[in-house]
Amino acid sequence: METPNLDEARKKVAEELVLKFRREASSQGMKATSDLDKSFGYKIINDELQIFANKYAEALNDGTSSASSGSNRNGKIDRIRDWVRIKGIRPLEKNKYGNSSFAKYKNSKTKTSSYDRMVFAIARSISNKGIIKRFNYKGSGFVNRVIQEQKTEIKAIFKSAFERDIKQNLKNNK
């Protein structure tokens, strides 16, 4: 059975969901680097609609697990280090006179130990508590919220497109 209307509906729903995910993440302040925003996309393979994003979209939506295993831990540490640099977060360092001042960020090959301590402390805090304080250290649920809000509209779009395809196929087979 030919399904041109259903195929178009899949594309329309995918584009709309991607747009809503971007808007919801942005409205909740999840836009430090814009990498998350740019990572949302979709693929239509056969009759299946796949929506994807960076791995940390799942952590922002559902919360995060501890970073205790090898490669996962190093990846999280590197992402936290990048986030700290982009946000301009700097640790306090004591100078030789006992006064505190903000550490200067050096290039990635010569990181100061105070930066490393700060990054590890942030990683440990995320591992122990969770990721976002304003959501009680759990994920924000932005993906689930968008899907829940769009569920009835998506059903209506698919139902209408499927009905048009059935009518067209019946008309062509007469």
In tens, the pLDDT along 85-128 reads 888 888 877 777 777 767 665 554 445 577 888 888 888 888 77
Please check whether residues 7 and 20 belong to one and the same domain. Answer: yes
Classify the C-alpha dihedral 101-105-110-116 as positive or negative. positive
Please check whether residues 33 and 115 belong to one and the same domain. Answer: no
Please check whether residues 60 and 94 belong to one and the same domain. Answer: no
Alpha helices in 40-88 (DSSP H): 55-62, 70-87
Please check whether residues 74 and 122 belong to one and the same domain. Answer: yes
Reduce the DSSP state of residue 116 to 3 states and report it. helix
Please check whether residues 7 and 51 belong to one and the same domain. Answer: yes
Please check whether residues 72 and 57 belong to one and the same domain. Answer: no
pLDDT per residue as tens digits for the range 10-56:
999 999 999 999 988 888 877 767 778 888 999 998 888 899 988 77
Please check whether residues 86 and 121 belong to one and the same domain. Answer: yes
Please check whether residues 107 and 165 belong to one and the same domain. Answer: no
pLDDT value of position 104: 66
Final residue of a structural domain among 97, 112, 129: 129
Please check whether residues 39 and 92 belong to one and the same domain. Answer: no
Nearest partner of 53 among 7, 22, 93, judged by Cα: 22
DSSP state of 42: E
Domain of residue 143: give its range. 1-64+135-174
Please check whether residues 86 and 103 belong to one and the same domain. Answer: yes
Nearest partner of 126 among 90, 54, 72, judged by Cα: 72
CA 108 to chain centre: 25
pLDDT value of position 37: 80
Q: What is the rounded distance in angstroms from the CA atom of residue 16 to the CA atom of residue 12? A: 6
Other C-beta atoms closer than 10 Å to the C-beta of 122 total 17
Dig out the tokens for 132 from the structure: 């976002």
Please check whether residues 75 and 104 belong to one and the same domain. Answer: yes
Number of domains in the chain: 2
pLDDT per residue as tens digits for the range 103-114:
665 554 445 577
Of residues 84 and 137, more confidence is placed in: 84
Of residues 49 and 68, more confidence is placed in: 49
Of residues 2 and 174, more confidence is placed in: 2
pLDDT value of position 117: 83
Please check whether residues 45 and 23 belong to one and the same domain. Answer: yes
CA 54 to chain centre: 6
